[in-house]
Amino acid sequence: MSSTLTENVRKTVLENGLTVLTKEVHTAPVVTVQVWYQVGSRNEEPGVNGIAHQLEHMMFKGTLNRPIQFGRLFSALGSDSNAFTSYDQTAYYGTVERNKLKALLVLEADRMQNSQIEPEQLASEKRVVISELQGYENSPEYRLNRAVMQAVFPNHAYGLPVGGTKADVEKFKVEQVQKYYRNFYTPDNAVLVIVGDFQTANTLETIKEVFGKLPKRQEAGVISPSSPSSPSSPSSPSSPIVLREPGAGRLLQVVYPLPDANQPDVPALDVMDYIFTEGRNSRLHQALVESGLANEVTASVTSLRESGWYEVLVTAGSKQDLKKIDSVLSSAIANVAEKGVTSEEVERAKTQLTADVILSNRDITSQAMRLGNDQTTTGDYHYTDRYLAAVRLVKPTDIVAVINKYLTKEARTVGFFEPTQKQITEVGDKPDSAHTTENFSPVAPVLFSEVMKYLPPVDLATDALLAVVGKGSRREDIAQVLPQQFKFPNGLRILLLRDHSTPTVTLSGHIQAGTEFDPDNQAGLAAFVAENLLHGTNSKDVLTIAKVLAERGASLDFQSYREGVHIEGDSLAEDLPILLEILADVVKNCTFPIKELELHRQQTLTDLQHELDEPSEVARRIFVQSIYPKKHPLHTFPTEESLQQIQRQDVIDFKAKHYRPDTTVLALVGDFDLDKVRSLIKNEFGNWEVSGQAPTLKYPPVSMPEKIVSVNPVLPGKTQAVTYMGYTGINRYDPRFHAALVLNQILGGDTLSSRLGAEVRDRQGLSYGIYSYFQALKNAGTFVIEMQTSPEDSTKAIASTRQILQQIHQQGVTALEVETAKRTLISNYNVSLANPEELTDRILMNEVYELDKVELHSFTDKIQKVTLDQVNQAARELLHPDQIVVVTAGPSVSPEKSIR
């Protein structure tokens, strides 16, 4: 199970100090380009907290050479691009088809040296950042974590929130941000990582050509934080930090300081974490969740450049006391310190940890992320290989040693979140007859000729060159081969596609047993069944099932949604027989033990409380129920009353009625022999019997709203508003489907480059995120626009959005927009097929929707054939700005400011 992460990695340092890591991976015709700057919130102090994050946003605003939103350039290239700020680094990444490698390099080099940071743009983007921070503030977990971390690291920037604070962001001056840019965005403070389908020698020459002329840092020295608090003498308040604020449930957080990533105890600490919290058999899950004290317990080891910490977060069970939970938690840890752990526990944790690393690095973007993070955090891109080697040597005595060394009572900082009374108010329809433009002037459509003017040229010679030099098992060749399809006598359909690029297998499945079949008075029943399948069978109890999977580092999960139950599984290739055996056992022989059902009911009720404290979930519920009438299969959502109505016999009956081989599809992609896997599946599922006809549903037609309907559910204590806008849309079989995808890409398919993104987010700075989509399901469809805004900006953002809908509905889009959107969709699709999970899901859903078997490859042809006339006809027929449901959840939108 050794990792091959750094195999074939080449490190090159240019004369100007730029560190370059290259790794050829010829499994798909794609490449990822990532630039990691060694600056993050660690390089801040109170008063300028969030400046690294603010600078990350500004890096998309254009350069001296390209005064244009870079998101539009990335979208035009078809690049799956984004960025993030962390404690130790800020990273920018894009994954594209291989012939666009040089274009990405040119863009990254340009903004490394020439980014424009202007007053007007900074003012706009500060509003966007504050919107983002307010979104975080909606979460009690975020607020509790912020208070605890400030107490753990009072004299180090690790105690500051990575994204910053509203008070500091509001005060940023252009000169401050420019100084940070000059100080940190230089080649000698950066790591360039390239992984994918390229030739190293040629690419290094291109890198030297593009990046080699950039100068080193001019100023001597850099801004650095004060020395970190020593893990051996942490700041730790004797009594818990208590937050009493609006919220849904009680939370307990405990944080222990740990050493930095390069210290030798880190591998044992990670193994310890898996023993404590990974899976049903873990120590803290047994002590807290199985007992009913807690709804959930999660933990993580954070290992950074200058320090680290172990963080445990417990979501309390309904009406459970946090002090009691804290006492049980402390006793469980003390018990392990005193009595030790078994060799079996240690070996299982090591296997899980190692398998997780391998399974999480199957796609090239993730592999590059690992290399970039290792190099910038530890100074060594070999770190993960060394780390995994050390993990294999961890012994039971090492676990006890690190617990006694770091998880002491004196070292820990404890936080309690005690919710005050929460109540949703002001839920009601507010019909609107007109609208205000609120300073929004509809400008001419984005000039895509400007985008093309600033886009670097694409290397058309790359494909021909790599066709000759590429070696190894290429997923591009694999993807041109259609998956093999089999149907067993009992109706079970399977699709198999071999991929030998990694020693793993990805499984995706679908059973037609979704929430659309929930009875009105028992909403949540379908989810009850799906989420309890792994809780026991005729031959294995819940802990045995969890143990069998954990011992191999394999995963299996069932999630219900409207039109089905989605099965997700993955494992190392050699463990596929075990994965299939467990899957077959639970779908055929699950027993739904009453104890597990009742524990699950309590957990689901607590989860529901937390969901109804999230503006996004409240907005989504009310939005869907405002569009689809009662008795419609999409209208029902679980409530406390409906969950209490569900009895064990209801669960058994639903399972017997809806879990059938003739409504089940399985897709597998991975390193296997086709005949052997087919035989395995036949042995495991061949005796799964079916009787009668599969249940069916009739979806009644739903009319459009006659006018604009506005609803503002108010959740106390929230700082960020979440808005859902839309109405019924097309299903997957609508002849306008592909034209609608192109239309949506132009309208709101990308939060930086679309019409909505360019105006509402980028120009006006009203929203951190805004995007649209046609949710085209098998039996129904919904058109949705989502955005998050500051409450004072909600009205303006909604008015601007409706005006853009009106503009496109009446005037249409341009030919150049259509061509750019088509290129983006095709490139994104091709990039997605390089990810084994996305490839497997695509194969599965094509079969579920009973599409032509060549759809895997013909999808791009269908997008390419979409015409300007078809897109504009779709805009006239599918965009209805005056017949729209608008739900804004979170803070109050005052009546005088409500949408008109």
First-to-last C-alpha distance (Å) of the chain: 62
**How do beta strands 504-511 and 564-572 pair?**
antiparallel
pLDDT greater than 60 at residue 431: no
In terms of Cβ atoms closer than 10 Å to its own Cβ (0-12, 13-18, 19+), residue 410 is exposed
> What is the side-by-side strand order in the sheet with 9-13?
9-13, 19-24, 190-196, 30-37, 90-97, 80-85
Q: Of 17-26, 392-401, 616-625, 749-758, which range is least confident?
A: 749-758
The per-residue pLDDT for 425 is 61
Q: Quick one: DSSP state of residue 318?
A: T
- Give me the mean pLDDT over the 521-525 stretch: 96
Place of tokens 């893990």: 231
The per-residue pLDDT for 451 is 82
Rounded to whole angstroms, the Cα distance separating 271 from 391 reads 7
Residue 753 confidence class, pLDDT cut points 50, 70, 90: confident
Q: Quick one: DSSP state of residue 407?
A: S
pLDDT greater than 80 at residue 424: no
Rounded to whole angstroms, the Cα distance separating 37 from 34 reads 10
- C-beta separation of 541 from 473 below 8 A: no
- Give me the mean pLDDT over the 468-486 stretch: 59
Rounded to whole angstroms, the Cα distance separating 428 from 626 reads 10
- Give me the mean pLDDT over the 520-546 stretch: 96
* DSSP H or E run through 645: helix 640-645
pLDDT greater than 60 at residue 849: yes
In the chain, what percentage of residues exceed pLDDT 70? Answer: 91
The per-residue pLDDT for 452 is 83
- Give me the mean pLDDT over the 141-163 stretch: 96
- Give me the mean pLDDT over the 369-383 stretch: 97
Residue 691 confidence class, pLDDT cut points 50, 70, 90: confident
Closest CA to 767 of 178, 171, 130, 337: 130
pLDDT greater than 90 at residue 404: yes
pLDDT tens column, 211-245: 999 998 875 444 444 443 443 344 555 789 999 99
pLDDT greater than 60 at residue 444: no
The per-residue pLDDT for 480 is 60
Residue 459 confidence class, pLDDT cut points 50, 70, 90: confident
Helices (H), 686-774: 737-748, 755-756
The per-residue pLDDT for 885 is 96
In terms of Cβ atoms closer than 10 Å to its own Cβ (0-12, 13-18, 19+), residue 698 is exposed
- Give me the mean pLDDT over the 14-40 stretch: 96
- Give me the mean pLDDT over the 699-705 stretch: 92
Q: Quick one: DSSP state of residue 29?
A: S
Cα 511 to Cα 558, 586, 665, 851, distances in angstroms: 10, 13, 7, 17
The per-residue pLDDT for 432 is 40
The per-residue pLDDT for 690 is 84
Cα dihedral 858, 859, 864, 866 sign: positive
Residue 427 confidence class, pLDDT cut points 50, 70, 90: very low
Residue 446 confidence class, pLDDT cut points 50, 70, 90: low
Q: Of 368-372, 446-450, 627-631, which range is least confident?
A: 446-450
**How do beta strands 429-432 and 555-561 pair?**
unpaired
pLDDT greater than 90 at residue 473: no
The per-residue pLDDT for 422 is 63
Cα 795 to Cα 88, 93, 205, 745, distances in angstroms: 38, 34, 52, 24
**Mean residue pLDDT across the chain:** 91
